[in-house]
Amino acid sequence: MVTRRNALAALGGLALAATAPPAWPRGGLDLGNRRDLLTALAKIRGSTDGRLTIGYVIGARYAVPEHVAIPMMGILAATFSQYRRVDEDTFEARSIEVAFFTDLETGEMLETWKNPVTGAVVKVPPTRLGPSRTVMTVDGVRVPSPSGEAAGLELKHRFLAPVVVGDDVWVTEDIRVDAAPGGRRFAYNELSTYHARKAELDDPARATVDTIVDYQSLITFRPWMGFGDSPGHTIARGAGRRVQRVEDLPAQYLALARRHAPDVLDDPLKVLARA
């Protein structure tokens, strides 16, 4: 579930990429070098100089009870982050996610929702996660002390080998969880693909780069969704980008966040300092 994404990313676990990164085709950062790759990841996902960065995604989630995708609700999510280099092989990040499930027709935040498959009317849980601290290396993202819903779950997180075509660079983040809290199976699979420009990554004067994000996920039905014991899962799709200013967030997101998370919009760095 996209609104659980920050909590899941805050779990422990490392996994090596299945294939070695390709050699950087020409001058600049060498993505075949672990330290250069880490610098590129920090520029793509955040910043190397401690400034605020914000990533947002706009999309939707679908129910798949019997091999047919049925629209459920809209997704509107943003993660506010601040990165700090710990050493040549490690970055630490503070982050908080504020996300909303929305009505597919009106775009308004859902507080209650009617399941289109079962007809059940359910309460939609709040979606504010963090602030939390995470640690990033080229092998993945982890947190020393997961808490809340993240406690007790084991995450497998890795960055897949970068794909480079001319000035285009794509890096995919693979997150997987398979657990049984309370005896009920919970499976989460997420792929987020970041697109950046090689020329911007190579520029030593740039601490962050313009990044486009494509998001896909598959999760088992969550108890609050009103599916009961019915078999099946949900899928989600979304797209967005990273920005550095609150005012660059989509107008729809700003309108909801001003009502439900004004402190995060007013002073994100103050909120992150609590992590």
User: pLDDT of 101-137, one tens digit each?
Assistant: 999 999 999 999 999 999 999 999 989 999 999 999 9
**Per-residue model confidence as pLDDT tens digits over 210-248:** 999 999 999 999 999 999 988 899 999 999 999 999 999
Under 8 Å between Cβ of 235 and 65: no
| pLDDT reported for residue 82 | 97
Q: Quote the pTM value.
A: 0.86
CA distance 13 to 134: 11
Return the domain boundaries, the chain.
2-243
Read off the pLDDT of residues 206-216 as tens digits, 9 standing for 90 and up: 999 999 999 99
DSSP bridge partners of 100: 76
Contacts by 57-60 with C-beta closer than 8 Å and gap 24+? Answer: 57/2, 57/213, 57/215, 57/238, 57/239, 57/240, 58/238, 58/239, 58/240, 58/250, 58/252, 58/253, 59/2, 59/215, 59/236, 59/237, 59/238, 59/239, 60/104, 60/236, 60/237, 60/238
Instruction: Kindly report the three-state secondary structure assignment for every residue of 144-156.
Output: CCCCHHHCCCCEE
Q: Give the bridge partners for 142, in sequence order.
A: 135
CB–CB of 266/257 below 8 Å?
no
Mean pLDDT estimate for the chain:
88
The number of helix segments (H) and strand segments (E) in the chain equals 6, 13
Task: State how far the Cα of 60 lies from the Cα of 199, in Å rounded to an integer.
Answer: 33
